[in-house]
C-alpha cells in the first residue's frame, strides 16, 4: 500500500481500528501485526488511529411510514470543461395520493477554481468498498471529499434518511482539502429508507438553522455549493 488514506486493500481502516481496540481474534491480530511490520503506508495509518482515533455516533433507526425510491438518472454538464455528473430524482411518498419530487445534487461539481466531490467508503465485516450503492443494518460509512482549498469557509456533512436529518461529523475540525481526502471517523446506518449523504461548503453555516430548514424543505434547503450521494437498503 502506498496511500496513507488506507481506505482499501490490503488492510481496511475498520480492521486497523479493530486491531487498535483489541477486538480481532488472535489469528487475525497476528496477521495484521505482521502486515504492519512490512507496510509503511498501513503503519502510518495505524499511527494516525492510535494518536487521533475518532468515534462517531450511529444513526438511529428510522420509523416506518415514509418510503423513498430512485426514479431515474441522467448525465449533465456542470460547467464548461467541468465534470459530467450523475443527478438522481427521489420520489418520496408523503401520503396515499401525494407525491413530492426532490432533486438530489450531483456527487461532483465545479467549485471556485476546483472540483467539489463526495465519495463513500463502506466497511462491512472488515472489508472496505468504495462508492457503494447499497447498505445493510450495521454497515459503517466513511466520507471522502475532493475540494480546492476553502480558506475560511465552513463545511458540514448532512445525512437524510427518511424524514430525519443528521449531522454525524464535528464540523469544527478543519477540512484538509485535496483529492479524495477521508474525513476522520465513521458512522453506522440502519433502517429501510434510501439514505442521501451530502457535504456543503459555505462562508457561514448555522447548523441549527440548516437542520430546521432541511426538515421543512428537505434537500432543497441546502446551499448551491453542495454535493450528495445516495445509498439504498439491501445487499
121-147 pLDDT, tens per residue?
999 998 999 999 999 999 999 999 999
Highest mean pLDDT pick, 3-12, 63-72, 109-118, 132-141? 132-141
Q: Which residue has the higher pLDDT, 63 or 108?
A: 108
Task: Return contacts of 18-27, CB within 8 angstroms, 24+ apart.
Answer: 18/126, 19/46, 20/46, 20/49, 20/50, 20/53
21 has a pLDDT exceeding 60: yes
C-alpha torsion 192→194→177→15, nearest 10: 30
User: What are the grid coordinates assigned to 172, written together?
Assistant: 469544527
Q: What are the structural domain ranges in the chain?
A: 13-52, 67-233
Kindly report whether the global pTM for this prediction surpasses the value 0.85: no
Cis status of the peptide bond prior to 10, with omega within 30 of 0: yes
Averaged pLDDT for residues 41-62: 63
Question: Of 187, 118, 178, nearest to 150 (Cα)?
Answer: 178
Confidence of residue 52 (pLDDT cuts 50, 70, 90): low
Alpha helices in the chain (DSSP H): 13-20, 26-38, 40-52, 207-217
Q: What is the C-alpha separation between 198 and 228, in angstroms, rounded?
A: 4
46 has a pLDDT exceeding 60: yes
Q: What is the C-alpha separation between 6 and 76, in angstroms, rounded?
A: 32
Amino acid at each position: 500500500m502506498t496511500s496513507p488514506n488506507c481506505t482499501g486493500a490490503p488492510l481496511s481502516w475498520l480492521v486497523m481500528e479493530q486491531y487498535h481496540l483489541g477486538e480481532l481474534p488472535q489469528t487475525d491480530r497476528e496477521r495484521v501485526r505482521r502486515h504492519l511490520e512490512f507496510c509503511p503506508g498501513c503503519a502510518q495509518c495505524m499511527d494516525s488511529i492510535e494518536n487521533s482515533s475518532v468515534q462517531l455516533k450511529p444513526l438511529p433507526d428510522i420509523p416506518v411510514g415514509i418510503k423513498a425510491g430512485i426514479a431515474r438518472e441522467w448525465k449533465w454538464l456542470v460547467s464548461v470543461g467541468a465534470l459530467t455528473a450523475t443527478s438522481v430524482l427521489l420520489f418520496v411518498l408523503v401520503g396515499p395520493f401525494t407525491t413530492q419530487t426532490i432533486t438530489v445534487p450531483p456527487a461532483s461539481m465545479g467549485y471556485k477554481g476546483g472540483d467539489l466531490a463526495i465519495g463513500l467508503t463502506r466497511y462491512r465485516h472488515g472489508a472496505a468498498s468504495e462508492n457503494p450503492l447499497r447498505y445493510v443494518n450495521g454497515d459503517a460509512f466513511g466520507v471522502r471529499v475532493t475540494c480546492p482549498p476553502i480558506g475560511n469557509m465552513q463545511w458540514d456533512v448532512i445525512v437524510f434518511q427518511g424524514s430525519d436529518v443528521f449531522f454525524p461529523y464535528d464540523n469544527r475540525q478543519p477540512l484538509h482539502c485535496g483529492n479524495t481526502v477521508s474525513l476522520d471517523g465513521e458512522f453506522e446506518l440502519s433502517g429501510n429508507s434510501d439514505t442521501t449523504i451530502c457535504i456543503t461548503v459555505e462562508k457561514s453555516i448555522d447548523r441549527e438553522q440548516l437542520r430546521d430548514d432541511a426538515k421543512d424543505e428537505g434537500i432543497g434547503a441546502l446551499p448551491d455549493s453542495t454535493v450528495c450521494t445516495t445509498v439504498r437498503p439491501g445487499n
